[in-house]
Amino acid sequence: MVANCDRTCPLSRRMLIAASALAVGYSLSAAAQTANAPAPAAQGQSYSSSASPYEAWLNPDALPGVAYLASPSPNPSPQYGNNPNRYPTYQSSWSHIAFEGGAGFTAPIGNDTHPYEAPGYNVNETWGYNINVGGGWNFTKHFGALLEFTFDKQKIPGATLSTIYNEATLAGVSLSGPLGGNVNTWSFTVDPIYYLPVTHRSGVYVTGGGGFYRKVTNFTEPELEEYCEFYCVEGYESETAAHSSSNQGGFNAGFGLYWKAFGEDSNAKFYAETRYVWVDSPVSSNGDPWGGGTEGLIPVTFGIRF
């Protein structure tokens, strides 16, 4: 409480009373500001009770559209589509075109391994080689279809050729020497193919199909020929003594391994495959006694496919 003082009070007492009144007023004002102050900011954050409207306008987070651009979309759209089996949209239609080339060896199977017995039976074959080329369309990264041309060339065993030579001689056929022979089979087939990836750069695939097959059996004999350049010499050259052929349907089925040597995004694949080939060649007739009968082959091929 501040005491009253009239005009009779000394000057020093009046000054003391005025100082006391100022101190009480300052204390009341500080208490009022503390009661109206906001809650303290969380740790690591600062608070300013005197922020001006200009500072709030200059804050980048308060600009229109900034919050939308800064926050990621809840459902972002993939750049190349959601289906990993399909080609990226940046690739052209040329990415769907497929072509291949390969070669390897071919083993006979089935009737082709049975010993030759007499005219009217299938002429057996030995191991040979194959060449394969083709092209088609890749519908997806995993599935496509190919139009393939395949050529298989097999030899005829010497024992079989000797037996046929003796039969021909007994039948009155005049031959100039021992027989040679081979069996050529070529085809045009449509073959779907399905890839099964194991890693990003390698995997397996299955394939198979059918189409047109032509089987040609050739028998040759040596013929004496004269060659003249600066001077003339004589020598023997194989000439066709007889042949038989058939145009039939057939099918093939197989599987293989592939490896993307140029990177996982490349369409080029080195492959190694094996197939079973069956050709429905008719049994020989009396007029065409050699070279007929169904044919079974196991070609093993190595090549590159795009």
Model confidence pLDDT, tens digit, residues 138-186 = 999 899 999 999 999 999 998 888 888 888 888 787 787 788 999 999 9
| Structure confidence at residue 104 as a pLDDT band (50, 70, 90) | very high
pLDDT recorded at residue 78: 44
Query: Does 46 have pLDDT greater than 90?
Result: no
Q: 165: how many CB neighbours lie within 10 A of its CB? A: 19
| Structure confidence at residue 118 as a pLDDT band (50, 70, 90) | low
**Three-state SS at 192:** strand
* Interval 209-225 mean pLDDT: 89
pLDDT recorded at residue 239: 84
56-75: pLDDT as tens digits: 444 545 445 444 444 454 54
Please name the helix (run of DSSP H) or strand (run of DSSP E) that holds residue 67, with its range, or none: helix 66-70
218-248: pLDDT as tens digits: 888 888 777 777 778 777 777 888 888 888 8
* Interval 119-128 mean pLDDT: 78
Residue with more model confidence, 22 or 116: 116
| Structure confidence at residue 90 as a pLDDT band (50, 70, 90) | very low
Amino acid at 104: G
**Three-state SS at 63:** coil
Of 45-49, 119-123, 134-138, 266-270, the range with the lowest mean pLDDT is: 45-49
The model carries a pTM of 0.66
Q: Residue 295: beta bridge partners? A: 279
Let me know: does 258 contact 207? Beta carbons within 8 Å: no
Contacts of 189 (CB under 8 A, 6+ apart): 147, 148, 150, 209, 210, 211, 212, 250, 251, 252
Structure-block tokens of residue 195:
């890839």
pLDDT recorded at residue 50: 45
* Interval 80-85 mean pLDDT: 50
Let me know: does 129 contact 107? Beta carbons within 8 Å: no
Of 20-29, 137-146, 287-296, the range with the lowest mean pLDDT is: 20-29
Sign of CA dihedral 19, 21, 25, 31: positive
Query: Does 292 have pLDDT greater than 70?
Result: no
* Interval 250-257 mean pLDDT: 97
Q: What angle do CA 256, 259, 263 make, to 5 degrees?
A: 155
Q: Which domains does the chain have, with CATH numbers?
A: 93-305 (2.40.160.20)
CA-closest candidate to residue 208, choices 154, 148, 268, 267: 148
As a whole-number percent, the residues of the chain with pLDDT over 70 amount to: 64
In 76-157, which ranges are continuous DSSP H helix?
Answer: none
Query: Does 262 have pLDDT greater than 50?
Result: yes
* Interval 108-126 mean pLDDT: 77
Query: Does 42 have pLDDT greater than 50?
Result: no
| Structure confidence at residue 209 as a pLDDT band (50, 70, 90) | very high
**Three-state SS at 286:** coil
What backbone phi and psi angles, to 5 degrees, belong to 45?
A: -115, 150
